[in-house]
Amino acid sequence: MVVMVGLLSTMALSSWNSALGRWHVSSAQQQIALAIRQTQAKAQRHSANWQFSIHETAAGNVKWASHPQKDLPRIWKTVGRKELDIDPADTTLDSVSGIYYIRFDYKGNLASRTRTLTLTHRNVSSVKRCLIMSTILGEIRLANEQSRPNSSGRRCY
């Protein structure tokens, strides 16, 4: 009987941790989508090129910044919890020195081809959430990882 209770408790805890991991990554996905949309709006409002930048710190936090493209980020904001990671294998944003970015021109148009940002949970590797920025108008789609990869071998599309 004690073994049965222990087994059921372990299964319940595993399910709970998985559900909590999905919620944390989905919440971070929503926060980042909002920040990207705000960056796009700033580009339009200021009639200037703006950039959304995101990276993982050495301490393991994911941080983002919204700033004019010509300037370096001054204020970085933490998104999600420390268990959040950027999946480099499924992220197609441009990057410089470990900082991923997406740019909008002065009209708020996406200044590059379709880009994907994929987030994962450090402790629940099966949880992946994607942000797909496409079209010149900068449409942002939220997606989950697909069960089969596309022709490029990516699972977020």
Instruction: List strands edge to edge, sheet with 50-56.
Output: 77-79, 62-68, 50-56, 99-104, 94-96
pLDDT band at 13 (very low <50, low <70, confident <90, very high): low
14-71 pLDDT per residue, tens: 677 778 888 899 999 999 999 999 999 999 999 999 999 999 999 999 999 999 999 9
pTM of structure = 0.84
- And the tokens for 66? 């919204």
What is the rounded distance in angstroms from the CA atom of residue 140 to the CA atom of residue 123?
A: 27
53-67 pLDDT per residue, tens: 999 999 999 999 999
